[in-house]
Amino acid sequence: MAKTEEDTGQNSVTDEEYQEYIKNCEAIDAVIDEKKEACKEETDALHADISDIIDTAKDRGVLKKALRAALKDRKEIRKIEERRDNLKEKEQDQLDDIHHAVGTQLEMPIFEKAA
């Protein structure tokens, strides 16, 4: 049985190819985001509930922007950790290569504190 590039760990993909793959996927992802409008009514009610909680926190002296930023950061950190945890070691290595090729910076202080 012949070994594939995945089996050998070799990678002949160029930075430009990685960039093209990312660009094409992000274009499709933008279309998906547009389709999400169909669920807008339900999500608006849930967002109103979150706003009520944030207003309660504001009444106790919490800055709304800071609380919202913290919520978004924590959500993104969980997503990043989950995606990475679902990869094998070789896949994690290639993920690092892709991030390097497209200029994604993940060495931010917030990610170091969350670890």
10 inside domain = no
Nearest in space to 26 (alpha carbons), one of 102, 81, 105, 84: 102
pLDDT (tens digit per residue) in 26-81: 999 988 888 787 788 788 889 999 999 999 999 999 999 999 999 999 999 899 88
The rounded distance, in Å, linking the Cα atoms of 15 and 23 is: 12
| Residue 24 counted as domain residue | yes
Domain count, the chain: 1
Q: Identify the residue whose tokens are 């930023």.
A: 69
pTM over 0.75: no
Does 31 fall in a domain?
Answer: yes
Q: Has residue 105 been placed in a domain? A: yes
C-beta separation of 68 from 42 below 8 A: no
Look at residue 79 in the predicted model and tell me its pLDDT: 92
Within a domain: 2: no
Per-residue confidence (pLDDT) for residue 6, from 0 to 100: 56
User: What's the rounded Cα separation, in Å, for the pair 106 and 111?
Assistant: 7
Q: How far is CA 81 from the centre of its chain?
A: 9
80, part of any domain: yes
| 107 part of a folded domain | yes
